[in-house]
Structure 1
Amino acid sequence: MKKISILITAALLIFACKEDVKLTFETRHIEKSTDATIVVNYPKAIGTKAVANKINQQIEHVIANEMNMANTPENDISIDEAVSQFDQEYKSFKRDFQDSSQKWEAKVDGQVVYESPELICLSLQTYTDTGGAHGNGRTTYLNFNPETGDLFEQKDLLKNLDQFKKVAEEAFMEQTKPKDKDDTMEDFFFGEDFQLPSNIGFTNNGLVLLYNNYEIASYVQGITKITLPYDQIKDYLKVNP
């Protein structure tokens, strides 16, 4: 009887902890234009401290590394530090190339695009221009467990991957509009068969498969985005959107 009471008490404590998790998001804005042009808007989690901290650390990690000019990722750097480093790199560039009229840019636009009791999805759109033929734009989806703040990996979100891949490939063929009408699947995937992207997001319209520039096809193809309605893929989801 004593063991049963302990188990019931533990279960109630776990349930209470889950019920106590509260999260909201506020927009943080950073802007600097004296040297490099830097504009950063991103959602910052507030509420249950341990959960919010996990989410915010991951958001800052992704944004900071989008502005990172080094060849290796920065694991422990804040957005403010990344902004300062990007600006310092531009100043160094100007000292070395005083005749250049090139002004560096770093822009980030982040927002919460989907929330449910089982998942929070954030979209981070980043753009950097440090010279060259064109700047580099990228969209990143981050999917979080709202109870723990942990970042979901693809294996945490999808099941029966072989079957799901077939459904995704059919949707890809229906929704993709290649610049060249004679393009084949191998042309998109550099001689390979269809591949799922690393970037998967949740929206009100359905699950989004997103391929950034250079991940498939050529740069002129731009970002390729495929949307799968939830009612068509519910058997392949491990979370309930």
Structure 2
Amino acid sequence: MNHSKITVLIWCFLILFSCKEEQKITFTDVNISSENNSIVVVNIPEAIGNSTIADRINSEIEQTIISELHIGNRDDITSNSIKEGILNFNNEYQSFVKNFPESESIWEAQIDGEVMYQSSEVISIALTTFINTGGATGILNITFLNFESESGKRLENNQLINNLKAFKTLAVPYFNDAIADQDVPLDAIQFKLPANIGYSEDGLVLLYNIQDLSPYLNDILEFAIPFEVVQDILVYNSL
């Protein structure tokens, strides 16, 4: 093989290698705020790396946070960025103060995000939102976002599992054990899959927010099913 052919092969290898490297996504923690903001704190992971994949992931995170910060009907959302969402939340609070000057209520919103799990096939992110708009306790809500690692595409729960019927059968005993730990009679709550299912180091996590099982529970219900139990019915490999 002559020198020119060797050079071409080396360049081809380097190009292929660099393309694979570009696909890798990493995350950095960011704090997002706006001017004159004192009641909203947003700390979330931001995807960096391949711009197409990172943009898709960051866009989904952004839209979720904008929705969480919105006061009122979700169909009326006008914010185009997290900063706008923070600004609108602050404006709603100022409007509240103006209309109810006698009220001593202080609004607050805190959103924290973390990468629960990341592999070559799937990425799971949890967003924890606490919002108080003058109520006695405020509202705590956790949202799982799952993404395909190679494309950044958002994955719905039914895209994670290839046999929902079998998965429900596997999940019921774990659900019953978690309910029993809460001192709730098993026949009080009928099993259903939660809105939040995601990957973690402990296995596939199922999480029910307080409102999902109200009025039976006063706290979030969460449990993990080990990967070795569900591996055969997962669309994306956990290894």
Q: Is the 8 A contact 1:35 1:91 kept in 2?
A: no
Question: Which AA in structure 1 matches 2:230?
Answer: I
Distance 2:83 2:143 in 1: 20
> Equivalent residue for 2:219?
222
> Equivalent residue for 1:146?
149
Q: Is the 8 A contact 2:79 2:85 kept in 1?
A: no
> Equivalent residue for 2:10?
none
SS in 2 for 1:88: helix
TM superposition shift of 1:140: 0.7
TM superposition shift of 1:176: 2.3
The percentage of counterpart residues that share the same residue type is 38
Q: 1:34 to 1:17 in 2, by over 3 A?
A: closer
Moved over 6 A (4+): 13-16
The structure 2 residue matched to 1:202, chosen from 199, 202, 221, is 199
Q: Where in structure 1 are there 5+ consecutive unaligned residues?
A: 1-12
Q: Deviations over 1:119-172 (max 9, x none)?
A: 111110001000223201111111111111100111211022111101101111
Question: Which AA in structure 1 matches 2:65?
Answer: I
Which deviates more from structure 2 when the two are superposed, residues 193-202 or residues 68-77?
Answer: 68-77
Q: 1:179 to 1:226 in 2, by over 3 A?
A: closer
Question: Which AA in structure 2 matches 1:223?
Answer: I
SS in 1 for 2:57: helix
Distance 2:221 2:87 in 1: 32
> Equivalent residue for 1:234?
231
The structure 1 residue matched to 2:135, chosen from 122, 132, 136, is 132
Distance 1:239 1:15 in 2: 24
Q: Is the 8 A contact 1:35 1:90 kept in 2?
A: no
The structure 2 residue matched to 1:211, chosen from 208, 214, 220, is 208
Q: Deviations over 1:56-100 (max 9, x none)?
A: 110000011101002024376210000000000000000011111
Question: Which AA in structure 2 matches 1:105?
Answer: E
The TM-score with structure 1 as length reference comes to 0.85
> Equivalent residue for 1:88?
91
Distance 1:48 1:200 in 2: 26
Q: CA RMSD in A?
A: 2.3
Question: Which AA in structure 2 matches 1:170?
Answer: P
TM superposition shift of 1:22: 2.5
> Equivalent residue for 1:52?
54
**How many residues in Structure 1 have an aligned counterpart in Structure 2?**
223
> Equivalent residue for 1:69?
71
Q: 1:167 to 1:62 in 2, by over 3 A?
A: same
Distance 1:219 1:69 in 2: 27
> Equivalent residue for 2:31?
29
SS in 1 for 2:126: strand
Q: 1:156 to 1:220 in 2, by over 3 A?
A: closer
Q: Where in structure 2 are there 5+ consecutive unaligned residues?
A: 1-14
SS in 2 for 1:165: helix
Distance 1:72 1:56 in 2: 20
